Structure 1
Amino acid sequence: MAKLNELLSFIDVLESWNDRDLDVQGLAYNSRNVEQGDVFVCIKGFKTDGHRYVAEAIKNGASAIVVEDYQSDWEDLPQYKVKDSRRALAALSDAFYNHPSNAMKTIGITATNGKTSTSFMTNAILEEHGLKTGLIGTVVVKFGDYSEPTKLTTPESLDLHHYFAQMRDQDVSHVTMEVSSSALDLSRVGSVDFDIVTLNNISREHIDLHGSFEEYFNCKASLIRNAGEDKWAILNLDDSYSASLIDETKANVLTFSVETGDGDLVCKDLDLSTGRAKFTVEIRKPFSVEGTTYEPQEFSIELATPGYHSVYNSMVAIAAGLLNEVPIPTIQAGLKGFGGVERRFEMVFEDDIKILDDHFANYGNINVTLSTLQQMEYSNLKLVYAIRGSRGITVNRENAKAIVEWAPKLGLTEVIATVSHSHVDEKDRVTDEELRVFQEMMEEAGIHVDLYKELDDAIHHALSEAEKDDVVLLAGCQGMDAGAKIALEQLNKTRPEMDEEKLFKPLKNRVAGIL
């Protein structure tokens, strides 16, 4: 519980009506979640407007409302007008829970590709050091014994600060979280006290949401630009957009590279011959973090996760580990023992055929996935692609373009595509325009498309044709979340002699498509 006037001191109130100090029991942005004595914050969303639900909020017990537009039908109700109710919700939430992120070391990770893997890698290093950690991201929110699958890359600000409060109350000391461009744009991470921030890479994604690539980049870059003098920013010199932010932040900057050979941390002697990277990290320049000073030196790294992209992700995680004063041998052990993240180039079946599961989100991610696949030895590739729904024609055209560009290199003449009708909700439904763009790109390239309404049928097609030494790639975002489970269930029926426990082992700790 908190006093209303105390909470209001953390936001800029433009105008108020019926102002009086109240005991605030809680906050809500969804009228259905309002309880007696709560303050209801009216948020304007893409599909609806919280101002339309004031009556329901009051019926459920709201004692005051925060608005962008005055609500004339409630003359006795305390109302507080703000310029941006989303920003206000973040500040009120942080204050209501008594600034919980201040009590922990908080790491914010943004990128177009690799946010999830980088977050999990970083968390693995921190856990290896024996720290009590929290993790917030696309796949799951977890801390202590609590674990919950997530619906948004970054939760709404009220939910986020509530998670932080729960973590603080359970003595969590370090939190790693993914930060999406939409979360930055919509103030979902408002009032979060980030200690370490990073922008690893950026490519075209969510352009239709942000209006332009420039706006998308500015949203991502705000995480770095807004970092304070006592914070750290980790920047990738191989990515021109990340590198451009070196002089645009007040934070201390730690740079790295894999290709250019520049920066404070440099990846050397990279060996990807087995698909799993071995390399040397050179600390080029001395730097100090609180009580620890790192002198120029070299140390070796072995990754258990496959792919070139894992090298970049691990460089961020290594930098984060050093900035958290984790000993180098612990960083080495944490990465060597980290088995990867579900649906990130994940091997879910490896016998006479291989089944790989990858979220195939955008042009850059598809390029990295298919370049890694090119290094593998196999006979034929069966690509089952879940078309990306409700992300606009730009992303879908570029995804199709990536497939077209790699098709001749991989001997791909056919794509098994699906709109995954029964496995997506409305926010991920494939539109007619998105389907049309994909089909046109494939037709122009001379690639045959077998299109299925249902994911189950598409996977059955691939498995029924797969022969010895073939690779079946289950590719796609939300529409493919259930793909691995479906594929293994189909194998279980067609190969009843297989050990069922061994077959389903890859799904044991999975969240996507299971819960």
Structure 2
Amino acid sequence: MLESADQGPDAQSARPSRPVAHTVEQLARLTGAQIVASPGARETRVTGVVLNSRETQPGDLYAALPGAHVHGATFAADAAASGALAILTDAAGAELVAQAGVELPVLVSADPRAWTGRVAAEIYNSHPGDASAQKLFAVTGTNGKTTTTYFVNSILRALGHSTGLIGTIEILAGDTPIPSKLTTPEAPHVHSLLSLMRERGIDAAAMEVSSHALEFHRVDGVHYDVAGFTNLTQDHLDLHGSMEAYFEVKAQLFTAERTERAVVLLTEGDTWGEAMARRARENLGAEHVTSVALRGNIGDDAHAGPDRSGADWTLDSLTRRGIGHAFTLQHRDGRKLSVSTALPGDFNVANAALAVLMVLDSGVELDTLQKTLDDHDPLTTDVPGRMQLIGTRPTSVVDFAHNPDAMARALQSVEPTEDGGRTIIVFGATGRRDKTKRPIMGRIAAEGADIVIITDDDPHDEDPAPIREQVAQGARAAQEHGARAAEVHVIAPREVAIHTAVRLSRPEDSIIVAGRGHETFQDLNGVAHPLDDRVELTAALDALHSSRKEQS
């Protein structure tokens, strides 16, 4: 995508009130770019940065970047008409600007995207000299980023901090929520938001940092106090091509340029965690890296026992607490932390452990942290669309699980506890994404559920029927090899699939609607179709319960 249409004007309007004006000459020295302009234009002072011409405000530098289909310089005239005072682009973009007759100073760089974040950091002053002014936390990995950032922020609030959040579900700048459509917003938005948060007295913020954010330089110029790693499983191979390349992009976060400290989860069966811990130690020094080892499938062990992997922290004991868990983390020097979360799933034990140790590594005293965990129960916090309980009898959950590993973990978490209870799953696969995971997801659904209902996720501009069939092939093949599923259905549209799942259910069953979580619109060939799994599931359950009352 060329311009950041994914981020609307609400996100871009969240700018600090006191940007630091920079002349074109100063920005050229910063970026090493060549200036194409009359001599006097070198003193033009810009006060903002924008990637989307539709978001331009007077005084902005318009970063006209090359895109997959169209070059951003195509929209230079629109940006100029809206008040842009200068343009950052590459040689091809400079030619387009000249052809359009746009008479603005142009900064020509071989890689303008790589410099956009650094320019935004300078103008929005989002990296102040006083590093203690704002503690920044980053979380990366395939699964668990959103929940971990919510956990980090909840702990920080319980400790008395004013917090901000930048992530998949929402951006919270103080008390102001801003819709978020990218896991990590574009670089100008990131830096303007961090600066705005600091203006509002927010002294700590947590961010999800996706592989796309690192690949496309969205967090360039940001330096974190602590960066956390959750896991690495198959996803986004349409962008990265291989797991090795995916890992290398994620590893960019764990360098001295980007973070002061790192906390890395080591889970059974995920060799990427060990590899990331080694890479982080090489880049940051062993004294700046903390590892925590957890079992891959924790289950209901009353005493998990310490992991002997040589990690700094290990899971020492684990017990059920309602649908969640209470557990103990033990350091190899004997220190312990008692932790609990009411969110279901062993992966939320991992997310909670990571969040706790990230906060600890930010400089909080262990005794202070333990008292906060005991007194405030901060890890029992709602995370929209993440193992979100919608109803009971049947137990009905909406989750964002949209890749094979997340789906397997989600299915384990909703396993019925009543005799005769069945698991029913509703899910689909996304269009324009890694096609190889579609039959894998079908297989995992058939292995972990009794009734599988395959439907649409976001088809985007793909024909949804072949996507559904590719998923169904994986499920049917698994059935032929003795998988658990007794029934595999292919049903569209998605809302009908959700209502069908509820109609097929019994009170003792569990239903999970997976893949979209908090999302409220479905992309059908470029048209935003209103659809919220939580709303549809609630309506279906209401209808079911009303029917039961009438029958009784």
The 3-state SS of whatever aligns with 1:10 is helix
What amino acid is aligned across from residue 327 of structure 2 in structure 1? Answer: F
Who is 1:6 aligned against? 26
Instruction: Tell me the alpha carbon deviations over residues 204-225 of structure 1, each in whole angstroms, 9 at most, x when there is no partner.
Output: 1000111222111111111013
**Measured at CA, do residues 481 and 283 of structure 1 come closer, stay the same or move farther in structure 2, by a change above 3 Å?**
farther
In the TM superposition, structure 1's runs of 4+ consecutive aligned residues that sit over 6 Å from their partners are none
Residues 32-41 or 135-144, more deviating: 32-41
Q: Is the 8 A contact 1:393 1:433 kept in 2?
A: no
Do 2:416 and 2:510's aligned partners in 1 also have CA atoms closer than 8 Å?
A: no
- Report the alpha carbon displacement of residue 50 of structure 1 after superposing the two structures with TM: 0.5
Cα shift readout 1:161-181 (whole Å, capped 9, x = no counterpart)? 111111010111111110000
Equivalent residue in structure 1 for 2:536, among 478, 482, 486: 486
> Does the 8 Å CA contact 1:154/1:183 hold for their aligned counterparts?
yes
1:56-455 maps to which residues of 2 (within 5 A)? 56-69=78-91, 70-71=94-95, 72-73=98-99, 74=101, 76-100=103-127, 102=131, 103-227=133-257, 231-238=260-267, 239-245=270-276, 246=278, 247-250=281-284, 252-259=288-295, 260-261=307-308, 262-272=310-320, 274-285=322-333, 296-324=334-362, 325=364, 327=368, 328-335=370-377, 338-350=380-392, 352-374=393-415, 376-377=417-418, 379-407=421-449, 412=450, 414-419=451-456, 424=458, 426=460, 431=464, 433-446=466-479, 448-455=487-494
Cα distance, 1:17–1:242 mapped onto 2, change above 3 Å: farther
* Structure 1 residues 498 and 27: alpha-carbon distance in aligned structure 2, compared to 1, 3 A threshold: farther
In the alignment, is the contact (CA less than 8 A) between 1:134 and 1:175 conserved in 2?
A: yes
Distance 1:425 1:59 in 2: 36
In the TM superposition, residue 138 of structure 1 has moved relative to its aligned partner by: 0.8
Q: Which amino acid aligns with 1:395?
A: K
CA distance in 2, matches of 1:159, 1:47: 23
CA–CA distance in structure 2, aligned partners of residues 465 and 201 of structure 1: 35
Q: What is the alpha-carbon distance in structure 2 between the residues aligned to residue 396 and residue 211 of structure 1?
A: 16
SS in 2 for 1:472: strand
Quick one: which amino acid aligns to residue 138 of structure 1? T
Q: Distance in 2 between matches of 1:130 and 1:52?
A: 48
* Separation of aligned partners in 2, 1:47 and 1:104: 39
Aligned equivalents of 2:495, 2:65: Cα separation in 1: 38
Deviating more after overlay: 235-244 vs 146-155 = 235-244
* 1:81 Cα deviation after fit: 0.9
Q: Aligned AA for 1:268?
A: D
Measured against aligned partners, the alpha-carbon deviations of 1:213-241 in whole angstroms (never above 9, x if no partner) come to: 2111111111013456x811111233422
Question: Aligned AA for 1:346?
Answer: Q
Query: Could you report, residue by residue, the CA deviation over 1:320-361 in whole angstroms, capped at 9, with x for unpaired residues?
Result: 1212315121134454552341222221102x3211111122
Give the deviation of 1:398 after TM superposition: 2.6
**Equivalent residues of 1:270, 1:277 under 8 A apart:** yes
Percentage identity across paired residues of the two chains: 26
Aligned to 1:34: 56
The one of 456, 467, 472 equivalent to 2:506 is 467
Report the secondary structure of 1:249's partner residue: helix
In 1, Cα distance between equivalents of 2:196 and 2:313: 35
Q: 1:481 to 1:250 in 2, by over 3 A?
A: farther
Amino acid of the residue matched to residue 454 of structure 2?
A
Are the aligned partners of 1:199 and 1:221 in contact in 2 as well (CA < 8 Å)? no
CA distance in 1, matches of 2:75, 2:465: 32
**Contact 1:38–1:64 (8 Å) recurs in 2:** yes
Partner-residue secondary structure (3-state), 1:438: helix
Structure 1 residues 195 and 465 mapped into 2: Cα distance closer, same or farther (>3 Å)? same
Q: Match of 2:70, as an amino acid?
A: T
Task: Report Cα offsets for 1:399-440 as digits up to 9, x if no partner.
Answer: 223223334xxxx2x4222215xxx5837x665553332122
The amino acid that maps onto 2:216 is: L
| Rounded Cα–Cα distance in structure 1 between residues aligned with 2:271 and 2:453 | 35
| SS of equivalent to 2:507 | coil
Residue 351 of structure 2 aligns with an amino acid whose one-letter code is N
CA gap of 1:495–1:308, structure 2 versus 1, over 3 A, is closer
Structure 2 residue runs without a partner (length 5+): 1-18, 296-306, 480-484, 523-529
Matching residue's letter, 2:404:
Y
Q: Is the 8 A contact 1:383 1:416 kept in 2?
A: yes
Offset at 1:30?
A: 1.1
Structure 2 CA distance, aligned partners of 1:335 and 1:14?
55
Native 8 Å contact 1:28 1:34 kept in 2: yes
CA-to-aligned-CA distance 1:442-490 (integer Å, 9 cap, x gap): 2323465432332221112112222221222111225597111112123
CA RMSD of aligned residues (A): 2.6
Q: 1:304·1:336 contact (CA, 8 Å) conserved in 2?
A: no
Alignment check: 8 A CA contact 1:7 1:96 kept: no
- Find the aligned partners of 1:335 and 1:258 in 2 and give their Cα distance: 21
Of 512, 515, 518 in structure 2, the residue corresponding to residue 476 of structure 1 is 515
- Displacement of 1:395 in angstroms is 2.7
> Which consecutive residues of structure 1, in runs of 5 or more, have no partner in the other structure?
286-295, 500-515
Equivalent pair of 1:100/1:168 in contact (CA under 8 Å): no
Structure 2 residue identity aligned to 1:231:
E
SS in 2 for 1:151: coil
SS in 2 for 1:20: helix
CA spacing shift, 1:85–1:377, aligned 2, 3 Å? farther
Relative to 1, partners in 2 of residues 1:264 and 1:59: Cα closer, same or farther, differing over 3 Å?
A: same
Q: What corresponds to 2:42 in structure 1?
A: 20
Give the direction of change, closer, same or farther, for the CA distance of 1:48–1:451 in structure 2 (3 Å limit).
farther
Residues 14-36 of structure 1 show CA distances to partners (whole Å, capped at 9, x for unaligned) of 45443511121422211122233
Paired with 1:481 and 1:155, the residues of 2 have a C-alpha distance of 23
Q: Does the C-alpha gap of structure 1 residues 176 and 36 become closer, same or farther in structure 2, counting only changes over 3 Å?
A: closer
Query: Greater CA deviation, 364-373 or 19-28?
Result: 19-28
Q: TM-score, normalised by structure 2?
A: 0.80
> Are 2:401 and 2:515, in contact at CA under 8 Å, matched by a contact in 1?
yes
